[in-house]
Amino acid sequence: MTDAHSFREKVELAWQRSESLLCVGLDPRLELLPAPFEKDRDSVLEFCKTIVDATSEYACAFKPNHAFYAALGLEDELADLVEYIHNRYPVTPVVLDAKRGDIDSTAEQYAVEAFERYNVDAVTVNPFLGWDTVEPFLAWENRGVFVLCRTSNKGSAWLQTQPDIDPVYEQIAERVDALNNPNVGLVVGATNLEELREIRDYAPETLLLIPGVGIQGAQAVDVLETGCADDGREVLINVSRGIIHQDQSTNYLDSVTANAREYASQMTISS
């Protein structure tokens, strides 16, 4: 990313280009790589590049999850993938799903990792150690930060919905909304529609990154009805495995493109 555009400006440009709210998750699994590739770490970068090219027409953002690369020792390849996207699709933002959450100098280094080493447009962060885990990322004024708020995993309610009055997820939503910073958004799972609706009420114009559509069972139509702002936007709806790993045959790219087209058609930006 160059700082000619802020993260928010890149999102706006990507919406105009794609006319879609679809964010494609780039979470490669070796055991699910299609037939043209060996199921090994040396295949991952080229596989991901083919996914990017096959879905670029329909995606308003790409979201690689750091763990799928770091577990294989592919951090340099992740940086190469981000550079590939920036070079070929310069108005399509890249969100690094890293869920970083630490304090003081450690958080500062995680910000450097995201915004210098990987040069991503935005990163996900975990606020549950306290707001000082978020602040070092906000110092990068033109980059995006998505703060975990109400996540889609089943065990999240143990913490995020406590206490009964003024639960943690509502406090996070209110705090991010109070920043009035268009580059700062929230991560809200699509599998908790009641809470998604409440969060939209607490943060009426905040950009939401929404996982959970596809394999996890949530439906795009429900997310659009519940999570969009009054302008029919302000959401990036992520789909990962439901697009990139539904076909392991030599014709996988046909399925990838068709899946992306179908999801994008369900997430068309309203005029």
**What positions carry a catalytic annotation?**
99
Are the C-beta atoms of residues 159 and 167 closer than 8 Å to each other? no
φ/ψ of 145, rounded to 5, equals: -135, 125
Rg of the chain (C-alpha set): 17
Are the C-beta atoms of residues 114 and 123 closer than 8 Å to each other? yes
**Separation of alpha carbons 38 and 138, rounded Å:** 40
Q: 220: burial class by Cβ within 10 Å (0-12, 13-18, 19+)? A: buried
Instruction: Please state whether the peptide bond connecting residue 163 to the residue before it is cis, i.e. omega within 30 degrees of 0.
Output: yes
